[in-house]
Every structure is written in structure tokens, then in C-alpha cells.
């Protein structure tokens, strides 16, 4: 069990580096995500997929899984777009609102009642985000794109949970990466018109960072998290994921000198959001324990 917890926290800590790598890579967010998905998809094909049986999927199932893959791609695109528009810290603090967005999306998708306590937590988080917005007007675009990224992440996570029990996660990830890559490839000509760039080929340094992003932060962490989930519940993993923005901000301050650009308004807003995340986590944990008690 200790090994599983170590694997889980190691994967989450490594995910904290994705923001820093996104800042260091000189490509724009569109090309960055294109190369990340391509390298990750090839790595999955060579490292993870061999030996796996291919499931029989009908057209509807293919469409559903492929649609989720497009949502994943759009999440990455907006996440790195937020970093390029503002900073790693802003993108990461917006990412911490994923669980709060899920409290709205999950009841809608699963046709359940809304939990008004969770809606209150969402309002508290929005107060923190608005505080950051007011403290630095130049970060407004980054905050907006970062919130869209969190919304997309919450959406694909809810849909992924619905299909995870029916199919091998390896196959799901492979199809999702393939559909995300295909859609982004079709989208790139239009994207380049909207977001012009003259750099389509990574520099040597960019290649190194991209390989780390794909092999270490995507494929290896996926394997680590999958191994951890054999012993640790998915709910425990979801709670631990709240640490990812914390790790990302610490790394941004240490290695990207973002401590110099963050003002008191950012820190005050960040404290409100992180406090909300902690309280929301405690509330969800107690709620799940009560549900388990009622079932027994």
C-alpha cells in the first residue's frame, strides 16, 4: 500500500512540472500540444500498447471516446495558452478549480441533484479568482483561458469515469490521443491564422523538453498512476490531485522567477482558492463516508 501511495504522489509531483515545461518550450501552445500528443501517442504505441487485446467497439463508442480525446486536447491547448498569456502560477491556480467545476458538471451528466454546499464552494473559488483578476489586469486573458481549461478538464474527467470501468484504460488513452492529434492537425491551419507563428520546428532544447513532457510527464506518469490505482481508490487519487497546482506554483517560483511578478493580490486570491479546495476536499470525503455508512 505504501508503494501505491508513493507512486500516486510521485505521478502528481511530476505533473506539477508540466506548467514549467510549457513555459520553457519556445513553441506556441498549438505546436507545443501537437508535438506532445504525437510523441506521447508514439510512446504509447511502442511501450504501453503491445500485448493488449483490442476491444470490439461500435460506432457510437468510437465517437464517444474520440470526443473525449478532443476535449483532452483542447484542455492542454488552453492550459498552455493560459501560461503563454500570463504565467504558470495563474494557469495553475485556475486549474485548482477543476473539482469545483465537476460539482456542476457531474450532476448534469449523471442526472443527479445539485449539492448547494458545493455551489457555495464554487462561489468562494470565484471570489479568489476575481481577486487575482483585479490585482493584475494584464493576467485577465490568461485567467479566462485558464478557467476554460479547468472546465474542459472537469468535463472530460466526468465522461472518462463513465467509460473507465468498461474498457482497458490503455486502449481508451490510445484512442483519445489519436483523435486529439487528428483533430488538432486538421485545426492547425486555422489556428496558425488566428495565432501566427514562424516557429514550426522545435529547437534542440525544445526537443529535450518535449521528450520529457511526453515520456516522463505523460506516459510514465500514466503508468505510475495506473499502478497506484490497483491499490488506491479513484476518489483518493482525485483528492490527491489537488496538490498538483501547489507543486506547479512552487516550481514556478523556484525555477521561473515568478515570485518577482506575483503581487499581494495574487497571494490573497490564491489563499482563498486553496482554502476552498481544502474545505471542499474535506466536505467530499465526509460526504462519501456517510454514503458508504448508509450502504452498509
pLDDT over 70, % of the chain? 93
Burial class of residue 265, CB neighbours in 10 A (0-12, 13-18, 19+): middle
Average pLDDT for the chain: 85
Nearest to 75 by CA among 2, 158, 3: 158
The pLDDT confidence band at residue 119, using thresholds 50, 70 and 90, is confident
The whole-angstrom separation of Cα 221 and Cα 228 is 10
Neighbour count for residue 242 (Cβ, 10 Å): 18
Q: Provide mean pLDDT across the span 80-107.
A: 87
pLDDT tens digit string along 204-215? 999 999 999 999
Buried b (16+ CB within 10 A) or exposed e, 96-115: bbbbbbbbbbbeeeeeeeeb
The pLDDT confidence band at residue 284, using thresholds 50, 70 and 90, is confident
What separation, in Å, do the N-terminal and C-terminal C-alpha atoms of the chain show?
A: 24
Q: Provide mean pLDDT across the span 25-43.
A: 95
Judge whether residue 296 has pLDDT over 70. Answer: no
Residue 112 gets the label, from left (phi > 0), alpha (psi -120 to 50) or beta, of beta
The pLDDT confidence band at residue 134, using thresholds 50, 70 and 90, is confident
Q: Provide mean pLDDT across the span 147-154.
A: 93
DSSP code at position 232: S
8 A C-beta contact, residue 72 and residue 156: yes
Q: Provide mean pLDDT across the span 102-116.
A: 80
Q: Provide mean pLDDT across the span 264-290.
A: 80
The whole-angstrom separation of Cα 157 and Cα 268 is 29
Question: Alpha helices, DSSP H only, in the chain?
Answer: 2-15, 17-24, 29-43, 59-85, 88-95, 98-110, 116-135, 140-164, 169-194, 204-211, 221-228, 234-240, 243-255, 264-295
Dihedral pair phi/psi, residue 261, rounded to 5°:
-100, -5
User: In this predicted structure, what is the pLDDT of residue 235?
Assistant: 61
8 A C-beta contact, residue 83 and residue 141: no
Distances in Å between the Cα of 240 and the Cα atoms of 33, 90, 126 are 25, 20, 22
pLDDT tens digit string along 215-238? 999 989 988 887 887 777 666 776
Judge whether residue 294 has pLDDT over 80. Answer: no
Pick the residue with more confidence: 240 or 150? 150
The whole-angstrom separation of Cα 33 and Cα 181 is 9
The whole-angstrom separation of Cα 176 and Cα 126 is 31
Amino acid at each position: 500500500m505504501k508503494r501505491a501511495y508513493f507512486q500516486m504522489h510521485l505521478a502528481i509531483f511530476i505533473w506539477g512540472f508540466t506548467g514549467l515545461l510549457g513555459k520553457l518550450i519556445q513553441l506556441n501552445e498549438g505546436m507545443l500540444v501537437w508535438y506532445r500528443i504525437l510523441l506521447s501517442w508514439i510512446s504509447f504505441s511502442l511501450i504501453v500498447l503491445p500485448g493488449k487485446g483490442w476491444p470490439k467497439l461500435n460506432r457510437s463508442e468510437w465517437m464517444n471516446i474520440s470526443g473525449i480525446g478532443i476535449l483532452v486536447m483542447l484542455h492542454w491547448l488552453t492550459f498552455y495558452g493560459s501560461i503563454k498569456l500570463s504565467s504558470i502560477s495563474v494557469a495553475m491556480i485556475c486549474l485548482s478549480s477543476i473539482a469545483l467545476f465537476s460539482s456542476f458538471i457531474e450532476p448534469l451528466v449523471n442526472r443527479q441533484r445539485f449539492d448547494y454546499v458545493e455551489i457555495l464552494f464554487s462561489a468562494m473559488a470565484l471570489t479568489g479568482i476575481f481577486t487575482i483578476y483585479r490585482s493584475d489586469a494584464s493576467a485577465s486573458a490568461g485567467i479566462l483561458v485558464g478557467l476554460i481549461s479547468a472546465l474542459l478538464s472537469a468535463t472530460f474527467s466526468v465522461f472518462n469515469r463513465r467509460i473507465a470501468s468498461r474498457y482497458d484504460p490503455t486502449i481508451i488513452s490510445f484512442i483519445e490521443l489519436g483523435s486529439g492529434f487528428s483533430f488538432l492537425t486538421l485545426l492547425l491551419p486555422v489556428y496558425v491564422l488566428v495565432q501566427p507563428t514562424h516557429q514550426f520546428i522545435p529547437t534542440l532544447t525544445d526537443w529535450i523538453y518535449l521528450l520529457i513532457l511526453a515520456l516522463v510527464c505523460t506516459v510514465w506518469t500514466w503508468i505510475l498512476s495506473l499502478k497506484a490505482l490497483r491499490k488506491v481508490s479513484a476518489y483518493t487519487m482525485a483528492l490527491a490531485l489537488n496538490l498538483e497546482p501547489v507543486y506547479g506554483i512552487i516550481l514556478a517560483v523556484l525555477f521561473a522567477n515568478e515570485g518577482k511578478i506575483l503581487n499581494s493580490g495574487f497571494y490573497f486570491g490564491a489563499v482563498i482558492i486553496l482554502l476552498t479546495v481544502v474545505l471542499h476536499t474535506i466536505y467530499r470525503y465526509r460526504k462519501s463516508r456517510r454514503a458508504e455508512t448508509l450502504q452498509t
